[in-house]
Amino acid sequence: MNPIVKVLLFMFSCVLTNNYIFSRFLGCCPFLGVSNKVETAFGMGIAVTFVMALASLFTYFVYYYVLIPLNLAYLNTIAFILVIASLVQVVEMFLKKSAPSLYSALGIYLPLITTNCAVLGVTILNISEGYNLLYSVLNGTFGALGFLVAIVLMAGVRERLESAKIAPPLKGFPISLVIAGLMSIAFLGFSNMFAGVM
Amino acid sequence: MAQFLPILSAIAALGGLGILFGLVLGLADKKFAVEVDERVSAVRAAVAGANCGACGYAGCDAYAEAVVRGDAKANACTPGGAKTVKAIAEIMGVNAEATEPMVARVRCQGTCERVTTRYDYKGVPSCRAASGISGGPNACEFGCVGFGECLSVCAFGAIQMVDGIAVINDDVCTGCGMCVDVCPRNIIQMLPKDQTVVVMCRNEATGKRAVQQCKTACVACKRCEKACPSNSIKVVKGVAIIDETTCTRCGACIPVCPMHCIVNFYERNMEDVAAATAQAALNDIEIP
């Protein structure tokens, strides 16, 4: 198959079929925590995309050029968390300087990207799937874009929920969880989309 | 030695990575440093820091920012008092207009012995809840209910419950006004600290009815009105009210009050007041 088509298919599969939230259930904390407003959800998604793309890049080098030569592959989790934590710090400083309103809107969830399991998940998956550098970075970037799509969709739904008539026991968080489940089922529809061609 | 090599290499590798990232972060910190106006943090350090909201802003941080922006006056922090005003003025380079120190005054003397009790309240110990049940357990619908709702919001511990009424310690009160808002009876008032002559009653009932409710209720006899040389005390809606802008604090109204409900704050002694009230009750004072 044409390698460009293959890369394109891989990108789409990262966003739709292997969506980190809806089919791998990683990164649910910020997904539910920051999806109140589309604007902040989008900001969170961009921040996560930035961190995930860079984390994939850096962890590739850390793994293959530091840990493997030193026979320290078993330390990958701790080393990756180190990389991610540093990246999040840089992103935090950057946002504080360039987008203070987004910085204050994201609040506590910004440092929490450190513990966003989708970020650690993508780096570890890159290793276990044996992706090369290009595929690792693509997996990180487009996996995070899948996260962005999911959180923005969720925020759009939740913004409409504000004015909807909902039974009191379901108001707020419960209905959000129900919606998250329904969206996950909807995304199941993509599950075998690229199975035949890849 | 050889068996320790993997451990040492692990320590070296992770330590090295850590140092490397640390250096990068250090550089990023320099590059992305946000210039926080140092006056904001200086003002923030100068204010009282109770987050009481007396200044009208969301908290001490918001107030500090407003001061530096020029939106807020330097003297809005009541709890901080003159010291804070001076400090903020120095930071901002403006002349301090010192505020007149304000204190909260509980305008009620209806202790347990003086006020008539109508029923025994056994519900939630809250002034608001108790006063909602047919006007409260006390016969006087205007006085202190005595469950200390004000006490619980006072961030400075200036309020004590004595004999069933709230008593505010002037020396500790910072004038933040939190208690004023929370009192369901509206008997706490912010007054200038030097306004020493205070009508300690809000009872709007007159004559005999007021006496039946409380032994130190204002009966609206208007004796104080006549005694006042500066015409600053008026009986409005059955209760004497002092206009603190014209009051000379001469105290002429204090001895003429048959119910002993006007007091001079710095000469007030609870025992004396109680004795005088008891005496007055025995003398069967005539009420116009």
- Identify which has the larger pLDDT, A120 or B208: A120
Q: What is the DSSP letter of A35?
A: -
Residues B48 and B154 occupy one common structural domain: no
Which of 13-52 (B) contact A at CB < 8 A?
13-14, 17-18, 21-22, 24-25, 28-29, 32-34
Least confident of A102-111, A179-188, B188-197: A102-111
Residues B118 and B54 occupy one common structural domain: no
Res. B288 pLDDT band, cuts 50 70 90? very low
Residue B270: the pLDDT is 47
Please tell me the distance in Å from B14's CA to the nearest CA on chain A. Answer: 7
Residues B200 and B140 occupy one common structural domain: yes
Residue B54: the pLDDT is 75
User: With helix as H, strand as E and coil as C, how does chain B read?
Assistant: CHHHHHHHHHHHHHHHHHHHHHHHHHHHHHHCCCCCCHHHHHHHHHCCCCCCCCCCCCCHHHHHHHHHHCCCCCCCCCCCHHHHHHHHHHHHCCCCCCCCCEEEEECCCCCCCCECECCCCCCCCCHHHHHHCCCCCECCCCCCCCCCHHHHHCCCCCEEEECCEEEECCCCCCCCCHHHHHCCCCCEEEEECCCCEEECCCCCCCHHHHHHHECCCCCCCCHHHHHCCCCCEEEECCEEEECCCCCCCCCCHHHHCCCCCEEECCCCCHHHHHHHHHHHHHCCCCCC
**Strands B159-162 and B197-199, sheet pairing:** unpaired
Residues B66 and B160 occupy one common structural domain: no
Residue B96: the pLDDT is 47
For the cut 90, the answer to whether the pLDDT of residue B19 exceeds it is: yes
* Cβ–Cβ below 8 Å for B34 and A62: no
Q: What is the DSSP letter of A66?
A: I
Count of the separate structural domains present in chain B? 2
Please tell me the distance from the alpha carbon of residue B262 to that of residue B222, in angstroms, as a whole number. Answer: 12
Please tell me the distance in Å from A79's CA to the nearest CA on chain B. Answer: 7
Whether the CB-CB separation of B214 and B114 falls below 8 Å is answered with yes
Whether the CB-CB separation of B216 and B114 falls below 8 Å is answered with yes
**pLDDT tens digits for A85-113?**
998 888 888 887 887 777 776 766 777 78
A192 touches chain B (CB under 8 A): no
Of B70, B92, B114, which closes a domain?
B92
Residues B207 and B139 occupy one common structural domain: yes
For the cut 90, the answer to whether the pLDDT of residue A182 exceeds it is: yes
**pLDDT tens digits for B229-270?**
888 888 888 888 888 788 887 878 888 888 888 887 766 544
Q: Considering chain A, what is the average pLDDT of its residues?
A: 86
Nearest residue, CB atoms, B24 vs list A79, A86, A94: A86
Please tell me the distance in Å from A112's CA to the nearest CA on chain B. Answer: 17
For the cut 80, the answer to whether the pLDDT of residue A125 exceeds it is: yes
A69 touches chain B (CB under 8 A): no
* Cβ–Cβ below 8 Å for A93 and B10: no
Residues B189 and B76 occupy one common structural domain: no
Structural domain range at position B169:
102-276
Between A and B, how many CB-CB pairs are < 8 A?
Answer: 47
Measured in degrees and rounded to the nearest 5, phi and psi for residue B66 equal -65, -40
Nearest residue, CB atoms, A72 vs list B10, B24, B28: B10
Domain membership flag for residue B2: no
Quote the radius of gyration of chain B (alpha carbons, Å). Answer: 28
Nearest residue, CB atoms, A96 vs list B14, B22, B32: B32
A89 touches chain B (CB under 8 A): yes
Residues B121 and B196 occupy one common structural domain: yes
| The one-letter amino acid at A104 | S
pLDDT > 90: percent of chain B: 3
Residues B128 and B269 occupy one common structural domain: yes
Res. B22 pLDDT band, cuts 50 70 90? very high
What's the rounded mean pLDDT across residues A60-77? Answer: 89
Residue A42: the pLDDT is 87
Q: Is A105 helix (H, G, I), strand (E, B) or coil?
A: helix
Q: What is the DSSP letter of A25?
A: -
What's the rounded mean pLDDT across residues A40-52? Answer: 85
Domain membership flag for residue B224: yes
Residues B193 and B260 occupy one common structural domain: yes
As given in the structure block, the two tokens for residue A171 are 């108001």
Residue B267: the pLDDT is 60
Residue A90: the pLDDT is 86
For the cut 80, the answer to whether the pLDDT of residue A52 exceeds it is: yes
Nearest residue, CB atoms, B14 vs list A79, A96, A97: A79
Domain membership flag for residue B228: yes
Which of 25-64 (A) contact B at CB < 8 A?
62
Domain membership flag for residue B283: no
**Strands B239-242 and B188-192, sheet pairing:** unpaired
Q: Which residues of B touch A62 (CB under 8 A)?
A: 17
Res. B97 pLDDT band, cuts 50 70 90? low
CA distance from start to end of chain B: 106
User: What is the pTM (predicted TM-score) of this model?
Assistant: 0.52
What's the rounded mean pLDDT across residues B126-144? Answer: 83
Residue A178: the pLDDT is 92
Residue A149: the pLDDT is 92
Residue A57: the pLDDT is 92
Domain membership flag for residue B29: no
Residue B278: the pLDDT is 54
Whether ipTM exceeds 0.90: no
Residues B57 and B167 occupy one common structural domain: no
Domain membership flag for residue B184: yes
Domain membership flag for residue B76: yes
Residue A71: the pLDDT is 86
Residues B63 and B160 occupy one common structural domain: no
pLDDT > 70: percent of chain B: 88
Q: Nearest Cα to A117, choosing from A21, A2, A12?
A: A21
Res. A43 pLDDT band, cuts 50 70 90? confident
C-alpha dihedral (A165, A167, A169, A173), degrees to nearest 10: -40
Residues B174 and B231 occupy one common structural domain: yes
For the cut 90, the answer to whether the pLDDT of residue B106 exceeds it is: no
For the cut 80, the answer to whether the pLDDT of residue A141 exceeds it is: yes
Residue B86 is part of a domain; what is its CATH number? 1.10.15
Domain membership flag for residue B205: yes
Residue B286: the pLDDT is 46
Residue B80: the pLDDT is 78
Residue B247 is part of a domain; what is its CATH number? 3.30.70.20
Whether the CB-CB separation of B239 and B204 falls below 8 Å is answered with yes
Nearest residue, CB atoms, B32 vs list A66, A82, A93: A93
Measured in degrees and rounded to the nearest 5, phi and psi for residue B218 equal -70, 125
Measured in degrees and rounded to the nearest 5, phi and psi for residue A175 equal -65, -30
